[in-house]
Structure 1
Amino acid sequence: MATKTEITVEDKLRALYDLQLIDSRIDEIRSVRGELPLEVEDLEDEVLGLKTRLDKLKTDMETVNFEISAKKNLIDESKVAIKKYAEQQKNVRNSREFNSLTKEVEFQELEIQLADKNIKEFKAQIEHKKEVIAETKERLAERETHLKHKKGELDAILAETEKEEKALLKKSAEFENQIEERLVKAYKRIRNNVKNGLAVVPIERGASGGSFFTIPPQVQVEIATRKKIITDEHSGRILVDPVLAEEEQEKMSKLFG
């Protein structure tokens, strides 16, 4: 079995171009999914946020209702106190005691007035919170329906492509292992630097694939000899001759099929 050091430049070029064809196919599969995974993730976050908001609003409602109950109890206690002070006024011995009890009654009456005011404010808060809860529930239902729809879309695409993508990722790793690490790193670096992910391209009509920059004839001849790995001086992409590219495309189309 040949070791990596015995692999010819042509073998390396073929392996690199095969790797490119596999990775480009993976790119195609992922582009079909497009922004759907991110959309689903954003919708899940939004739904979770709305549920958290609803829980907080319900807790706030419970707190306000508790405050209303507390104020009602305070009013009842003040009324009992007023009645008690009124009874005591009947049995006072002097005007000082009478005036002192009158002040206590006035204080309790102010407490009742303040509590009544607080209750009205709390009830207004409850009405507002009820409106917000209703709006939030409506928004939540709409977002959950939208999320279900988007998840269905994503699941359908995944069902169609997940198996193929896994198989191709495995193949991609296998082809990487056939190529020396230095070249794999260079290939990945170029792929990351170009928007279409094409690191290895054939010469098309005398130019680098996907580019308008012409390759000099003597360089084209050198590329066709497959004795040296040559890159496009403008884009940095690795170049292969059209014949090799066509042969590998035919071979890989059977794999994809």
Structure 2
Amino acid sequence: MANTKELSVEDKLRAIYDLQLIDSRIDEIRNVRGELPLEVDDLEDEVAGLSTRSEKLKGELEIVENLIKVKKNAIDEHKEAIKKYTKQQETVRNNREFNSLTKEIEFQELEIQLSEKQIKEMKASLEHKKEVIVNSKEKLEAKSNHLKHKKLELDAIMAETAKEEAFLSEKSAEYQALIEERLLKAYTRIRTSVRNGLAVVSIERGASAGSFFTIPPQTQVEIAARKKIITDEHSGRILVDSTLADEEKEKMEQLFAKF
């Protein structure tokens, strides 16, 4: 490609308009993907969060089940103690020993009641956790399936457009190398500040494309002469004449037609 210093103003205008056409085509490709990559990322985070929560709930379930076993074993121990104290009452020598054993039996019975109450509460907690786990599992399956479909959708779009986007990105870099730094910075600044990404536009029916502001006839003549870079005083966009624009569009259509 020619050195930037050797380019005439017309060559610069053609190069920067070509760059605009290439970058706009890349924008179109990315718009097809839209919010899909972000949606996939959000779904992946959500699925990971649900998986973590599901594992945590299973862990809590196991803890409660073990606690119930501990309480049941404690009840068995208390019952064995009652049997032992009751048998000892048969061989006591006085009322003081008998009453002392009676108090031990009462204490063991209270411990059994407390353990049974705790088991009942833990079983209720267990049932609730099981219900939550079932709901979490259903939600996780639904989100995982949704993620799977969205990934397939994104992969299909990526497969369809990846080569074209890579090719166009290379072409964009090539045309950027043709354009002097000051002009390229202006182009980039305008492109990032406007919603449609158009930094270079042609004159259509006496106004810059997409604008309602009329370009003065003298300015239109200067733009058509292609002797200097002219910008729209209202939007700051770089202006080219419609003939040049049509010629470059036709050239770029041939480039885009390869895909």
1: CA distance, partners of 2:129 / 2:237:
61
Residue 161 of structure 2 corresponds to residue 149 of structure 1: no
Query: How well do the aligned residues superpose, as a CA RMSD in angstroms?
Result: 1.5
Superposition deviation, residue 139 in structure 1: 1.6
2: CA distance, partners of 1:138 / 1:167:
43
Superposition deviation, residue 5 in structure 1: 2.3
Letter matched to residue 123 of structure 1 = K
Residue 161 of structure 2 corresponds to residue 168 of structure 1: no
Letter matched to residue 3 of structure 1 = N
Corresponding residue for 2:4? 4
Which runs of 5 or more structure 1 residues have no equivalent in the other structure? none
Letter matched to residue 134 of structure 1 = V
Secondary structure at the counterpart of residue 239 of structure 2: strand
2: CA distance, partners of 1:21 / 1:3:
21
Letter matched to residue 150 of structure 1 = K
Corresponding residue for 1:16? 16
Letter matched to residue 52 of structure 1 = T
Residue 124 of structure 2 corresponds to residue 140 of structure 1: no
1: CA distance, partners of 2:139 / 2:2:
64
Could you report, residue by residue, the CA deviation over 1:207-245 in whole angstroms, capped at 9, with x for unpaired residues? 011111111111111111222211111111111111111
Superposition deviation, residue 87 in structure 1: 2.4
Secondary structure at the counterpart of residue 56 of structure 2: helix
Corresponding residue for 2:89? 89
- Which segment drifts farther, 16-25 or 234-243? 234-243
Corresponding residue for 1:60? 60
Superposition deviation, residue 26 in structure 1: 0.5
- Which segment drifts farther, 84-93 or 169-178? 84-93
Could you report, residue by residue, the CA deviation over 1:17-71 in whole angstroms, capped at 9, with x for unpaired residues? 1110000000111111122222222222222222112111111110100110110
Secondary structure at the counterpart of residue 224 of structure 1: helix
**TM-score (normalised: structure 1):** 0.95
Corresponding residue for 2:250? 250
Could you report, residue by residue, the CA deviation over 1:171-213 in whole angstroms, capped at 9, with x for unpaired residues? 1111111112222221111111100010110011110111111
Secondary structure at the counterpart of residue 196 of structure 1: coil
Corresponding residue for 1:124? 124
**TM-score (normalised: structure 2):** 0.94
Letter matched to residue 146 of structure 1 = H
Percent of aligned positions with the same letter in both sequences? 72
- Which segment drifts farther, 5-14 or 113-122? 5-14
Letter matched to residue 200 of structure 1 = V
Secondary structure at the counterpart of residue 212 of structure 1: coil
Which runs of 5 or more structure 2 residues have no equivalent in the other structure? none
Corresponding residue for 1:230? 230
Q: Is the 8 A contact 2:20 2:200 kept in 1?
A: yes
- Which segment drifts farther, 175-184 or 190-199? 175-184
Secondary structure at the counterpart of residue 134 of structure 1: helix
2: CA distance, partners of 1:251 / 1:185:
25
Superposition deviation, residue 2 in structure 1: 4.6
Letter matched to residue 169 of structure 2 = L
Letter matched to residue 88 of structure 2 = Q
Secondary structure at the counterpart of residue 202 of structure 1: strand
Residue 209 of structure 2 corresponds to residue 239 of structure 1: no
Q: Give the total of aligned pairs.
A: 257
1: CA distance, partners of 2:50 / 2:36:
21
Letter matched to residue 173 of structure 1 = A
Structure 1 runs (4+) greater than 6 angstroms displaced: none
Letter matched to residue 54 of structure 1 = S
2: CA distance, partners of 1:238 / 1:54:
57
Secondary structure at the counterpart of residue 239 of structure 1: strand
Corresponding residue for 1:191? 191
